[in-house]
Structure 1
Amino acid sequence: MPAILSNLRTTVHVALLLSVLYLGAYVVSGAIPVNDALWMGIARWTHVVSGIMWIGLLWYFNFVQIPNMPNIPDEQKPAIGKVIAPAALFWFRWGAAATVLTGLMVAGLRGYTVEVLSFGLAADHYLPQYSFIGIGMWMAIIMAYNVWFIIWPNQQIALGMVEADPEAKAKAGRTAMLFSRTNTLLSFPMLIAMTMAQTVFG
């Protein structure tokens, strides 16, 4: 067991294998039929896993890293900026992309991508579920846009990955922080749409 847990890649591979065996046992036994519902379940799982990676890191930045940076001695701050933050930002931005793409995949499998993205206006018959999920999806798309096109470019400047003078670094750091905080603000109502749509509308 220590050999598995000492290496993150091995841990993740074993976790995925356990997941496949767990689900596969129910499929092989016939308890879970191989049909559209199974593929929908797999799509939802990938969407949830991606979302946990994305929003988990968003909240790590906003609840842990940013508030505690002033408490870190100056001589230790380069370790955060040069090692921890770049690695976290890698998983953060790709988690955002995967969450949006798998969310669109789920909507596609349910057959209502156009309906939800149009808030139900493009539907033959409006259903409140369309606008409920659609608002959440657009919030997630806006958040992902912020990650890739505002937060990430500004973080590259702030962390010194791109050459810039101290004033530009400070400005970029503040811009990245404000848009990260914007995403935190949007994350709570967005998660209402993602977690409650199937239970309140069926």
Structure 2
Amino acid sequence: MEAYVLDWVNLLLRWAHVIVAIAWIGSSFYFVFLDNSLTKPSAPDLVEKGVDGELWAVHGGGFYHPQKYMVAPKSLPPNLHWFYWESYSTWLTGFALFTVLYLYQAGTFLIDRNLYAWSPAGAIAAALGFLVVFWAVYDAICRVFGQREGGDRIVGIGVTITVILASWLACQLFAGRAAFLLVGAMLATAMSANVFFWIIPGQRTVMAQMKAGQPVDPVHGQRAKQRSVHNTYFTLPVLIAMLSNHYGFLYGAQHNWLVLVLVMLAGALIRHSFVARHKALVAGKRVPWEYAVVGTALIVALALWLAPAPAAKSASAAPPSFAQVRALVEQRCAMCHNEQVISKGVQLHTPELIAKNAQALYQQAVVLKAMPLNNATQITDEERSLLGRWYEAGAASR
């Protein structure tokens, strides 16, 4: 019953997390597009009001005319919408989901004793440490170098190196599936912390200066803009890291840390291509699609690198007998899928149940390589191949 309840909690938290993440990332993408698509106003009344950029758009049967004040308007509007709950809700639901699935079940999902045999408490502390330490290092890099001339390039290099080191270390300490998710959570934590510690406080400071009749310090807007841009570059790497836990061929690869780094780099390059596109269209320049091309080429190269070797055409590749399959399932799978332990609602302790769940066996153990979880039973590639040949030959139970 506990496993059933956890499945429901997992489902509902995942659903909520996806909903609020769509809202947050969608608004982030929109405002980055808006900032990079604004044109200088020509109307005297807009110039008089202090409007620095404007955009005309059509959507949903109506016309929209958003305007941006570079520092702040001359007076505060009566109705001012804030964008922060999308960020906070995404982090809170994501952390709750991470807690329920990985921290609460650390011995199963967080630890791979073939990599590092430590206690659940130690693994949990280290996982939480990843979130805190990365934010501290990233924030320090931004504080020290962010306001210098050419600082954006230095920050970009520093953050990239930090992410690479964190990805390598996570894959040495945690189960591959957890390591990928942890790196994504690490970046997502930095994104939400940017909103909580810099973007929103900066906006509140600007409002306080306006209410007090003081000159508005433009540094608050500059810092908020810098962190907002970082957030938009983090989005695609975070998304692929989060989705990766469904694909064992990624986190189960021999050099999985490098796979993670490359696939996140591909996402960042593709995102940069779209950010640069907005600027190029406004300036009437060529759209730099080469970044997206390089990102796509990286994904193709990864797919080729991770592709399984073709099965050898020999007598040994003949469909195995069901007795071989049953012996394999009893050794590698049945300990978590039997009459007493019914993991994910699947049982494999009789010939009929093995045949009934043949497709699930094939998908999880052969195609995705997601099972056995963390390869706890040490199934080999040859054994996965045996299951594959059995399924592709019809998966007969006799």
1:44-193 alignment runs, 5 A limit: 44-64=14-34, 66-72=35-41, 73-74=46-47, 75=49, 77=51, 86-87=80-81, 90=82, 92-112=83-103, 114=124, 116-117=127-128, 126-157=174-205, 160-163=206-209, 166=215, 168-193=216-241
Listed one character per residue, the Cα deviations across residues 36-90 of structure 1 (whole Å, up to 9, x for unaligned) are: 32221111011111111211111122112x224444543484965656x941xx3
Amino acid at match of 1:107: F
For the 8 Å contact 1:117–1:134, the answer to whether it is kept is: no
- TM-aligned CA distance change 1:169 to 1:68, over 3 Å: farther
Tell me, in whole angstroms, the C-alpha distance in 1 between the residues paired with 2:223 and 2:39. 17
Amino acid at match of 1:106: L
- TM-aligned CA distance change 1:152 to 1:118, over 3 Å: closer
Match of 1:26 in 2: none
Amino acid at match of 1:99: T
Tell me, in whole angstroms, the C-alpha distance in 2 between the residues paired with 1:48 and 1:179. 23
For the 8 Å contact 2:177–2:245, the answer to whether it is kept is: yes
Tell me, in whole angstroms, the C-alpha distance in 2 between the residues paired with 1:95 and 1:50. 6
1:117 positional shift = 3.8
1:173 positional shift = 1.4
Determine helix, strand or coil for the equivalent of 2:84: helix
1:143 positional shift = 0.8
Larger radius of gyration: 2
Q: Give the alignment's TM-score, normalised by structure 2.
A: 0.35
Tell me, in whole angstroms, the C-alpha distance in 2 between the residues paired with 1:44 and 1:116. 20
1:101 positional shift = 1.1
- TM-aligned CA distance change 1:142 to 1:51, over 3 Å: same
Provide the identity percentage.
27
For the 8 Å contact 2:10–2:97, the answer to whether it is kept is: yes
Tell me, in whole angstroms, the C-alpha distance in 2 between the residues paired with 1:70 and 1:170. 20
Amino acid at match of 2:239: L
Listed one character per residue, the Cα deviations across residues 89-148 of structure 1 (whole Å, up to 9, x for unaligned) are: x3x3111111111111111221436275456989xx831112111111011111111001
Q: CA RMSD in A?
A: 3.4
1:196 positional shift = 2.4
Tell me, in whole angstroms, the C-alpha distance in 2 between the residues paired with 1:112 and 1:193. 18
- TM-aligned CA distance change 1:174 to 1:77, over 3 Å: same
Determine helix, strand or coil for the equivalent of 1:163: helix
- TM-aligned CA distance change 1:46 to 1:171, over 3 Å: same
Tell me, in whole angstroms, the C-alpha distance in 2 between the residues paired with 1:52 and 1:184. 13
For the 8 Å contact 1:116–1:130, the answer to whether it is kept is: no
Match of 1:19 in 2: none
- TM-aligned CA distance change 1:152 to 1:70, over 3 Å: farther
Tell me, in whole angstroms, the C-alpha distance in 1 between the residues paired with 2:103 and 2:85. 25
For the 8 Å contact 1:47–1:102, the answer to whether it is kept is: yes
Unaligned runs of 5+ in 2: 53-66, 105-123, 131-166, 252-369, 371-398
Structure with larger RCO (C-alpha < 8 A, sep 6+): 1
Figure out how many residues of one structure are paired with residues of the other and give that number. Answer: 162
Tell me, in whole angstroms, the C-alpha distance in 2 between the residues paired with 1:99 and 1:163. 30
Amino acid at match of 2:231: N
